[in-house]
A and B are shown apart, each in its own frame.
Chain A
Amino acid sequence: MTRTAAALAVFILLAVASLFAGVSDLTPGAVLAGDPAAINLLLTSRAPRTIAVVLAGGSVAIAGLIMQMLARNRFAEPSTSGTVDAASLGMLCATLLLPDMPVIVKMMVAAAFALAGAGLFMGVLARIPLSSPLVTPLVGLMLGNVIGAATSFIAYRYDLLQSLAAWSNGDFSTILRGRYELLWVAFALAALAWFTADRLTVAGLGRDFSVNLGLNYRRVLLFGLSIVAMVTAMVVTTVGMIPFLGLVAPNLASLALGDNMRRAIPLTALLGAGLALACDLLGRLVNYPFEIPIGTMMGVIGSMLFLYLLLGKRFRAG
């Protein structure tokens, strides 16, 4: 429990730092003194940004955990299972075909695509001999690549590469009050997983095992994948893709707590949010006053952690 407490302390520290880091000067003193300009800045820009990072990080981490349970693989997550790429393909199609619809409709289209992508991924996995646990992420990454290539081709054809870049690379710099609230819904959905954790855990042990225990395997699978797809679509449409976060956070949590999902969910969410805060903060500070988007930073830090997990002792046996 001391580890969870330490993680919580680091998380709070990062959140506070995120509130007060930025180009325009904002100090805790000014806020406490009641400076109206400072409070305004805090409420319209800094606080929304920090909250958005926390919500997105937490829900992506939980989505990753669910994906890992359902795919029965440690290395599965929305960005290593074609789900993220399918969501941005959905966004692209919605932008092309339904340009006048509100964001929420486009988001639903993206979610439907994401669900189809995740379903395709699970379908491919069910049909191949899984000679090694490493095949699963390879299949997912390549599936994502193929969907991504199709998406770029369409975007290239219709001159939408610019918008595509916005979805495919996570960035919190444009977050203001009124433009991130969808992430609350994403987080609520992810939190739903906490209540159904036991069923997801059983489904994670496989179809035969679930049927033996009298669980409707297909329904639980669909439920879990729907949560993953909705969360992915919401995060991709509001801030863009954050690679590897859903892979790294659950693995770090399971290194600390083991694999009981109900116990792991809070720490996973906390680690996901903390990691997202750290990457966002680092991106703001490294090249100050310019920003490096979180998608790029997470690409560096996430892939290094991924390699560490891959080549580390614990997984080498696999």
Chain B
Amino acid sequence: MPADLTASPGSGRSGGLILLTLLAIALFACAAFMTVGVTGGWAFVLQLRAVKLAALLLVGCAIALATVLFQTVSANRILTPSIMGFDALYILIQTAAVFAIGASGLNLVDKRLLFLGQAALMTAFAALLYRWLFTGAVRSLHLLLLAGVVLGMLFRSVANVLQRMIDPNEFVVLQDRFFASFNTVDTTLLGVATVIIAIAAIAIWRMRATLDVLGLGRDAAIALGVAYKRTTMTALLLVAVLTSTSTALVGPVAFFGLLVANMAYALIPSHRHALTLPAAALIAVICLVGGQTVLERVFAFNTALAIIVEFLGGIVFLFMLVRGAVR
């Protein structure tokens, strides 16, 4: 085990143990999600739930990977893609597409094709926007944060205006068909999403050692021979693709990434992405699947998960800001 030379004594082992525990909890949550409260018609219910479970698993992985990746590249623990307005941007592009093509046109287009087009557009926009933010004059993290938050508000407002410009009757129809939420998970995209997230995950896994070095900051990473520009750009593109995919499946979830990434950092006694990435993904799955099981089956609150995440995540964000975690 040559890799253990780098790790502090025991940290690799205890990290592995924590991962195993998380995996067990995640499997338990999935089992509970599938079986709690089934009354009659097992085959039908199981199939219905399996589809939804698949979506939640994909979303959990996508958000966790995107957030950890983004935080490593930006060398801090408070910025996340959604706080920086990525998912608002996706909603804006989606609304603009619906606005431009119109309901009758949309019926003719394959939804998967539409999604791929939107994701590509989103990636291009994100690349432009964040290249400007990361390499331009914006040097202060606070400025980046605030500009990101305000950009997100701008995207949402423009999307709002466009939604109002669409014929109100037509819009109600479109809203159900094209704007996903936890309640109306978009299942037609599951296949495409699985492929995209799998490719992204493999790409990120292969970058893991480089990501460890990026965690030291820009100067140190360059001094150690990382091709900084190319690596950060690749990472930001992956973040854009992952965020597009998760937003297309369940809509925006503002602070979810912040919550799971920071829980992973707190639990794993190591900086190594080989451990933090899977930990964050597992925690995300536990929170999503477990949370949805408890809320839906036990309390019968259907759409409350996003609100609760917003509430808890906002508090964590405030806490980090107040504690001075941002420099």
Contact = CB atoms under 8 A, between A and B. Distances in A.
Q: Do chains A and B touch in the complex (CB under 8 A)?
A: yes
Contacts of B308: 149, 153
Contacts of A310: 143, 146-147, 150
Nearest to B157: A299
Interface string A279-310: 00000001100101000110110011011001
Contacts of B150: 303, 306-307, 310
Contact of A145 (B143, B146, B310, B326): B310
A311 B140 CA distance: 11
Interface string B130-164: 00000001101011011101110110111011001
A146 interface: yes
Contact of B137 (A127, A145, A316): A316
A237 to B, nearest CB: 22
Given A153-B311, A286-B165, A310-B150, A299 B321 contact: no
A138 interface: yes
A135 B142 contact: yes
Q: Is the interface of B mostly helix, strand, loop or mixed?
A: helix
Summarize A's interface: helix, strand, loop or mixed. helix
B151 A134 contact: no
Contact of A303 (B157, B164, B165, B327): B157
A139 interface: yes
Nearest to B303: A156
Contact of A139 (B160, B311, B322): B322
A307 B144 CA distance: 11
Contacts of A141: 149
B76 to A, nearest CB: 13
Nearest to B164: A292
A136 to B, nearest CB: 10
Interface residues of B, number: 38
A145 B324 contact: no
A77 B222 CA distance: 42
A124 B322 contact: yes
A304 B140 contact: no
Interface hub of A127, A129, A299 (most chain B Cβ within 10 A)? A299
Interface in B216-251: none
25 contacts: A131-B326, A132-B142, A134-B143, A134-B145, A135-B326, A138-B146, A142-B317, A142-B321, A146-B310, A146-B311, A146-B314, A149-B307, A149-B308, A150-B311, A156-B307, A286-B165, A292-B161, A296-B160, A297-B161, A299-B153, A299-B156, A300-B158, A300-B161, A307-B154, A310-B147
Interface of A: 75, 124, 127-129, 131-132, 134-135, 137-139, 141-143, 145-146, 148-150, 152-153, 156-157, 243, 286-287, 290, 292, 296-297, 299-300, 303-304, 306-307, 310-311, 316
Given A134-B142, A306-B150, 5 more contacts: A138-B142, A138-B146, A142-B317, A143-B314, A153-B307
